[in-house]
Amino acid sequence: MTDFKNLRKITTHVLQEMKLKGEKITMLTAYDFSMAKIIDKAGIDIILVGDSASNVMAGFDTTLPITLDHMIYHASSVVRGKVRALVVVDLPFGTYQGDSKEALQSAIRIMKESGASAVKMEGGREIIDSVKRILTAGIPVMGHLGLTPQSIYKFGTYTVRATESTEAQRLREDALLLEEAGCFAIVLEKIPAVLAGEVSKSLKIPTIGIGAGRHTDGQVLVLHDMLGINQEFSPRFLRRYHNLFAEITGAVTNYIHDVKNEDFPNDREQY
């Protein structure tokens, strides 16, 4: 548990120092106040308000339907729950790709209305103008390369990316472009571990991997996946730290049983 009296808040500078010291960076998603409070107290470095909220909170098949207003609602709830962690918010699909001015407006809304500390954006050279414009406003940007779920209809599959040399080379170049533009970190999703290690070594800024092996500077997982709330999703890279689906089912089953059998509430549980 975090010692909140002696705590050092996580900033983008702290993350840079962690990379220099070789200290691994931890990131998990959260979308609400209560979960954010728990994972912040447990000592997580970065809380990502991911657009995976579209899947795990709203039940959509992809991350595409979630809106900027939804992301701001989730992000402001998370910000109220944290003390130490850096809160990074995904810019949702359709709010930054085509027009860098619109991208800046979207990022400003997230920063102003949620109180978060940074935004994350999927893509490389094709979004570089938007990345640069957002950075000029003093908003820290985290990049995201490899399997970028907002492009699922282009990829057609959630399988591992950059296994062949052209795509791998493009990813190396995009990572460098994002670093040169001023991003403070880059998520590398579902790419070969050797490539992720090579890119991490070549960059001065930290990389955060998901399904990208152990040689990245940090790791990220979707909270609902690693807690075993979400049972349907079990890719090779996912380590389940709990089976909350079973735990919650057990608790709810017991509650139903107790109410039906007039065991709850008992004499001590009433006024």
Count of residues that bind ligand KIV according to CB under 6 A: 11
| Binding pattern for the stretch 215-234 against ligand KIV, x by CB under 6 A and - elsewhere | -----x-x------------
Of 207, 255, 238, the C-alpha closest to 15 is 207
Compare residues 52 and 200 and give the one whose CB is closer to ligand KIV: 52
- Span from 33-41, 47-55, 76-84, 241-249 in contact with ligand KIV (CB under 6 A): 47-55
Compare residues 38 and 259 and give the one whose CB is closer to ligand KIV: 38
Using CB under 6 A, pick the residue from 30, 86, 119, 187 that binds ligand KIV: 187
Burial of 96 (0-12, 13-18, 19+ CB in 10 A): buried
- Is 17 among the residues known to form the active site? no
Q: Given phi > 0 = left and psi -120 to 50 = alpha, else beta, which region is 195?
A: alpha
- Span from 46-54, 130-138, 155-163, 256-264 in contact with ligand KIV (CB under 6 A): 46-54
Question: Does 207 help bind ligand KIV (rule: CB under 6 A)?
Answer: no
Spatial contact of 215 and 200, defined as CB atoms under 8 Å apart:
yes
Identify the active-site residue in 173, 179, 189, 262. Answer: 189
Q: What whole-number distance in Å separates Cα of residue 43 and Cα of residue 65?
A: 31
Q: How far is the CB of 51 from ligand KIV (least distance, A)?
A: 5
Strands 207-210 and 185-189, how do they pair?
parallel
Question: Does 47 help bind ligand KIV (rule: CB under 6 A)?
Answer: no
Residues 167-186 touching ligand KIV, rule: CB under 6 A, are none
Q: How far is the CB of 166 from ligand KIV (least distance, A)?
A: 24
Of 33, 176, 172, 99, the C-alpha closest to 91 is 99
- The residue to which tokens 């390369």 are assigned: 145
- What string of DSSP letters covers 129-174? HHHHHHHHTT--EEEEEES-GGGHHHH-S-SPP--SHHHHHHHHHH
Compare residues 104 and 226 and give the one whose CB is closer to ligand KIV: 226
Q: What whole-number distance in Å separates Cα of residue 174 and Cα of residue 145?
A: 8
Compare residues 63 and 76 and give the one whose CB is closer to ligand KIV: 63
Compare residues 168 and 212 and give the one whose CB is closer to ligand KIV: 212
- The residue to which tokens 């808040």 are assigned: 9
Q: Which residues pair with 145 in a beta bridge?
A: 188
Question: Does 29 help bind ligand KIV (rule: CB under 6 A)?
Answer: yes
Question: Does 52 help bind ligand KIV (rule: CB under 6 A)?
Answer: yes
Catalytic residue set: 189
**Residue ranges binding ligand KIV (CB under 6 A):** 29, 48, 50-52, 90, 187, 189, 210, 220, 222
